[in-house]
Amino acid sequence: MKKVISTFIEEKLTKVLEKLNYPLKPKVIISNRKDLCDYQFDGAFSLAKELHENPFNISEKITAEFQKMYANTSFFTKIEAVRPGFINFTLSDTCINEILNHMKESDKFAITMPAKETIIIDYGGPNIAKPLHVGHLRSAIVGESIKRILKYYGHEVISDVHLGDYGLQIGQVIYGLKSENISINDITIEILDRIYPKMSGLCKENDEIKTICAQITKDLQDGNQEYQAYFVKIREVSGRDILRIYDYLDVHFDLWYGESNAYPYIDKAKQALEAKKLLKQSEGALIIDVAKSEDSKELPPFIFQKSNGAYLYGTTDLATIFERIIDYNPQKILYVTDLRQGMHFTQLFRVCEKLGITKSTNFEHLGFGTVNGLDGKPYKTRAGTAPKLDELFTETKEAFLNSNPKNTSMDNEDLDILVNAIIKFADLQNNREKDYIFDSKKFSSVIGKTGPYILYTYLRIANILTKENYISTNKLTNTIYNNVDRELRMKILELENALNYSYTTRLPSILANYLYELCVNLNAFYENNHINNLEDVKKKEDWLILLDLSCKIIKDMLYLLGINIPKKM
Ligand code: ARG
């Protein structure tokens, strides 16, 4: 057998339903009553509604036909219609072990690969001259994980950090530097970290300065040489610091483009818009209507150019799409940003639709929620500002060191791996669209749904395999020895479902939660089944094979979540 087990049952069910003339494409799910069965089919309920028949009668008919058509398969030990209309499937040991052996021997655990596509993923999105803070964390973590999952499925994936490098903050910082007589060569990250908050505060109080800063930004965009020289240096200094943080997070980009790189493509975008007569004058600005009659909420027009001639966030995003299509002609472009940018992306994608771009390129906005503090409000430092990422790393490291005196003996490299694991697993276990509370103490513990728990489990099992000098050559036999053993095997069978689901929904949380459940099963298995002194050679071999397969799965899943493995804990 070379298939996900649910697909395998679905294929058989399709034939059964056809034979019975039932109009339904069957969907089989992992049982939510594992004490009763392994997989279940609930389609009788919708059929019952449609055909005005009793659901239990339908499930009985399907079951009877299934048994008739597949009477001699050795895959199920039980197929049963249960009131009020469920159909329950229980797999045979032979079936379970056959799939496990196939997973063990195949590349990437035998998942089915989709047709290869070129996909651009735009995440990170930091703004230069501003320090990275907690608000930038999720885009980096979630984006990196989605990128790795897409690559795992064989796609050609190009990642772009898409720096915010041509916005108002640049004009503000240039003004601040000039007014303090700081020359270009003297610019350092410390100076930038000081000037930006000062200027952004000043601009909030003083409209005159704000106008000057806006003008500097506009002149910079129009090519003013002095400002360009400042810009190049600011981008270099700030870019180096951003890179340092991403390196720490093991987050990597193929392209370090920014809004400024899109400027040469603005004309191309404008020509295309003009050719389709999409641009409209409105109070001096150039806009595009993107509302549709079926919209439930009013969607304002997309602004291409402001009345003072300035371009906006949307303009550079549109121009960037032209750039990306010319350079890579991708089938998909994905954006990982804060959910609150939802409307911006709806407008942008609508413009692409009107331009006919969406015929060959699909767009997805993958939004995420907020990182909150213990009070349930957006995470803040004692000073009331969003903590810089450096501060968050330090806080997490301290929490981990305090959680167990033994942790202080870990080397620095391993400690940094743990800090990453704590932060990333805390984040990725939550559906990206939900807010979550970051509690460094709770997530540092080796007990509970945490990064350290997963890593500890992995190292514990990997240790056993090393001690036993295990080399994987044999296949699993047909035996399953006890309940926890069977539960572990069934959890491994769920891998493909979890992977496929996280791939299609772009939700790394599915994988994170699967990984946690696998570790819970593994620990239960290990505590109940002592391997070291086993005399039954066949049993010992089977169990080592199982542990080895589990270790390989954990390793790959951790990689997909962007989490590295320490040498020891
Ligand atoms: N710099 C933007 C921000 O801080 C995020 C950029 C996201 N990417 C994009 N193509 N718009 O919100």
Distance CA 12, CA 147 (A): 34
State if pTM tops 0.85: yes
Q: Is 485 in the pocket of ligand 1 (CB under 6 A)?
A: no
414-459 per-position pLDDT tens digit:
999 999 999 999 999 999 999 999 999 999 999 999 999 999 999 9
The number of C-alpha atoms within 13 Å of 434 and in the hemisphere containing its C-beta is 13
Residue nearest to atom 3 of ligand 1 (CA): 125
Q: Which atom of ligand 1 is nearest to the CA of 167?
A: 1
Distance CA 562, CA 427 (A): 12
* pLDDT recorded at residue 3: 62
* pLDDT recorded at residue 371: 95
Q: Over 60: is that where the pLDDT of 1 sits?
A: no
* 130 CA to centre of ligand 1 in angstroms: 13
3-state secondary structure of 281: strand
> What are 394's two structure tokens?
């330090």
Q: Which atom of ligand 1 is nearest to the CA of 320?
A: 10
Distance CA 239, CA 430 (A): 30
- pLDDT (mean) for 189-198: 94
- pLDDT (mean) for 222-232: 96
Residue 500: pLDDT band with limits 50, 70, 90: very high
293-333 per-position pLDDT tens digit:
999 999 999 999 999 888 999 999 999 999 999 999 999 99
As a three-state string, the secondary structure of 213-278 is HHHHHHHHHCCCHHHHHHHHHHHHHHHHHHHHHHHHCCCCCCECCEHHHHHHHHHHHHHHHHHCCC
Question: Under 8 Å CB-to-CB from 529, ≥6 apart: which residues?
Answer: 481, 482, 484, 485, 543
120-157 per-position pLDDT tens digit:
999 999 999 988 889 899 999 999 999 999 999 999 99
Distance CA 79, CA 67 (A): 8
- pLDDT (mean) for 191-212: 94
* 383 CA to centre of ligand 1 in angstroms: 26
Q: Is 160 in the pocket of ligand 1 (CB under 6 A)?
A: no
* pLDDT recorded at residue 2: 54
Q: Which atom of ligand 1 is nearest to the CA of 337?
A: 7
- pLDDT (mean) for 382-392: 85
Q: Is 337 in the pocket of ligand 1 (CB under 6 A)?
A: yes
Distance CA 80, CA 66 (A): 10
- pLDDT (mean) for 199-221: 94
Q: Is 349 in the pocket of ligand 1 (CB under 6 A)?
A: no
* 121 CA to centre of ligand 1 in angstroms: 12
Q: Is 127 in the pocket of ligand 1 (CB under 6 A)?
A: yes
Q: Which atom of ligand 1 is nearest to the CA of 317?
A: 10
229-253 per-position pLDDT tens digit:
999 999 999 999 999 999 999 999 9
* 141 CA to centre of ligand 1 in angstroms: 15
Residue nearest to atom 10 of ligand 1 (CA): 317
Residue 386: pLDDT band with limits 50, 70, 90: confident
Q: Give me the percent of the chain exceeding a pLDDT of 90.
A: 90
- pLDDT (mean) for 264-273: 97
To test the ligand 1 pocket, which listed residue (162, 316, 320) has its Cβ within 8 A of the most ligand atoms? Answer: 162
Quick one: which of 305, 225, 223, 227 has its CA closest to 264? 223
Q: Which atom of ligand 1 is nearest to the CA of 259?
A: 10
To test the ligand 1 pocket, which listed residue (136, 337, 389) has its Cβ within 8 A of the most ligand atoms? Answer: 337
* pLDDT recorded at residue 472: 75
Q: Is 167 in the pocket of ligand 1 (CB under 6 A)?
A: no
* pLDDT recorded at residue 75: 87
Q: Is 314 in the pocket of ligand 1 (CB under 6 A)?
A: no
> What are 519's two structure tokens?
């570790």
Q: Is 164 in the pocket of ligand 1 (CB under 6 A)?
A: yes
* 346 CA to centre of ligand 1 in angstroms: 14
Q: Is 143 in the pocket of ligand 1 (CB under 6 A)?
A: no
* pLDDT recorded at residue 387: 86
Q: Over 90: is that where the pLDDT of 384 sits?
A: no
* 30 CA to centre of ligand 1 in angstroms: 38
Q: Over 60: is that where the pLDDT of 228 sits?
A: yes
3-state helix, strand, coil in the chain (%, to 5): 55, 10, 30
* pLDDT recorded at residue 382: 75
3-state secondary structure of 436: strand
Q: Is 162 in the pocket of ligand 1 (CB under 6 A)?
A: yes
* 242 CA to centre of ligand 1 in angstroms: 15
* 247 CA to centre of ligand 1 in angstroms: 20
- pLDDT (mean) for 93-117: 93
Residue 383: pLDDT band with limits 50, 70, 90: confident
- pLDDT (mean) for 528-553: 94
Residue nearest to atom 7 of ligand 1 (CA): 125
Q: Which atom of ligand 1 is nearest to the CA of 127?
A: 1
* 488 CA to centre of ligand 1 in angstroms: 42
508-539 per-position pLDDT tens digit:
999 999 999 999 999 999 999 989 889 999 99
* pLDDT recorded at residue 381: 76
Residue nearest to atom 8 of ligand 1 (CA): 125
Architecture in CATH for domain 5-91: 2-Layer Sandwich (3.30)
To test the ligand 1 pocket, which listed residue (311, 322, 341, 366) has its Cβ within 8 A of the most ligand atoms? Answer: 341
Lowest mean pLDDT among 8-12, 79-83, 116-120, 501-505: 8-12
More confident residue, 265 or 308: 265
Residue 506: pLDDT band with limits 50, 70, 90: very high
Average pLDDT of the chain to the nearest whole number = 95
- With beta carbons less than 8 A apart as the criterion, state whether 423 and 401 touch: no
* 254 CA to centre of ligand 1 in angstroms: 17
* 511 CA to centre of ligand 1 in angstroms: 26
Residue nearest to atom 5 of ligand 1 (CA): 125
* pLDDT recorded at residue 15: 95
Q: Which atom of ligand 1 is nearest to the CA of 163?
A: 1
334-372 per-position pLDDT tens digit:
999 999 999 999 999 999 999 999 999 999 999 999 999
User: Any idea where the domains of the chain sit in the sequence?
Assistant: 5-91, 168-248, 390-431+438-560
Distance CA 292, CA 298 (A): 9
390-431+438-560 maps to CATH 1.10.730.10: yes
45-73 per-position pLDDT tens digit:
999 999 999 999 999 999 999 999 987 67
